């Protein structure tokens, strides 16, 4: 934890095993960073929040993603079946997503080969635009949209439009799966 006031560090604390020079995983803070990039792309006119995800990712046409808008993704109101409320459950989609992305070792041989395949195969659980349900996979679709609309790898795009503009002291790292899919929901 670092507190900066008027450009000066006024408080700094590192828990056991963490030091100022040790990179650490931001986990779900990554979602906010991804949403920030989407906001830049909206401002640039490359993404419209009322557009369907399938208009940016044609390979999702005819899947559970039909009818899901960018705004649904941003608001976590996409209706796909993805459960992660119990990360202690080894069968939780959140735990399995960590395995598909390569963040943790696979415990099952029947998992999708990569995040692209998983996203394409997800069924619907409820209509898009329904109530908020925390589903990390929705943010990964936003990352995929960012790559599709710009033709750039997410890491390069994020570096150019967000990270490089805030004046960080260090480069950021981002987990990618075996197919190069950027794990933008928790991999910064």
Residue 165, pLDDT score: 93
Q: Verify whether residue 64 is a known catalytic residue.
A: no
Asked which of 14-18, 23-27, 148-152, 163-167 is least confident by mean pLDDT, the reply is 23-27
Residue 24, pLDDT score: 78
Two structure tokens written together for 31: 């979602």
Which among 28, 32, 59, 178 is annotated as catalytic? 28
Angle in degrees, 0-180, between the axes of helices 29-43 and 154-161, rounded to the nearest 10: 70
75 touches 89 (CB < 8 A): no
User: In 3D, which of 70, 77, 57, 58 has the Cα closest to residue 125?
Assistant: 77
Asked which of 61-65, 119-123, 150-154, 170-174 is least confident by mean pLDDT, the reply is 170-174
Q: CB count, 10 Å around CB of 122?
A: 21
Residue 171 CB contacts under 8 Å (≥ 6 apart), including other chains: 159, 163
pLDDT tens per residue, range 108-117: 999 999 999 9
What does the alpha-carbon distance between residue 50 and residue 161 come to, in Å, rounded to a whole number? 22
Residue 23, pLDDT score: 80
| Distances from the Cα of 46 to the Cα of 4, 39, 51, 84, angstroms | 34, 10, 11, 31
pLDDT tens per residue, range 35-92: 999 999 999 999 999 999 999 999 999 999 999 999 999 999 999 999 998 888 989 9
Mean pLDDT, residues 97-115: 93
Q: Is the pLDDT of residue 25 over 80?
A: no
Termini Cα distance of the chain: 17
Two structure tokens written together for 101: 């992305």
The tokens 């910064």 sit on which residue?
A: 188
Question: In terms of DSSP H, where are the helices of the chain?
Answer: 29-43, 53-56, 70-74, 93-100, 115-121, 137-150, 154-161
78 touches 135 (CB < 8 A): yes
How large a percentage of the chain has pLDDT more than 70? 100
Q: CB count, 10 Å around CB of 6?
A: 5
Average pLDDT, the chain: 94
């Amino acid at each position: 934890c670092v507190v900066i006031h008027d450009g000066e560090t006024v408080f700094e604390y590192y828990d056991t095993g963490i030091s100022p020079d040790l990179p650490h995983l931001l986990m779900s803070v990554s979602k906010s960073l991804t949403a920030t990039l989407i906001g830049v792309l909206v401002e640039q006119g490359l993404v419209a929040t009322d557009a369907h995800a399938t208009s940016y990712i044609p390979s999702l046409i005819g899947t559970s993603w039909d009818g899901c808008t960018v705004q649904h993704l941003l608001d976590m109101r996409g209706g796909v079946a993805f459960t992660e409320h119990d990360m202690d459950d080894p069968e939780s989609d959140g735990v399995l997503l960590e395995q598909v992305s390569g963040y943790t070792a696979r415990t099952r041989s029947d998992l999708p080969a990569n995040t692209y395949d998983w996203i394409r195969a997800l069924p619907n659980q409820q209509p898009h635009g329904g109530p908020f349900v925390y589903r990390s996979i929705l943010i990964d679709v936003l990352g995929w949209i960012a790559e599709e609309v710009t033709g750039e790898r997410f890491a390069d795009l994020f570096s150019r439009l967000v990270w490089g503009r805030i004046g960080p002291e260090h480069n950021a790292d981002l987990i990618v799966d075996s197919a190069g899919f950027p794990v933008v929901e928790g991999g910064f």
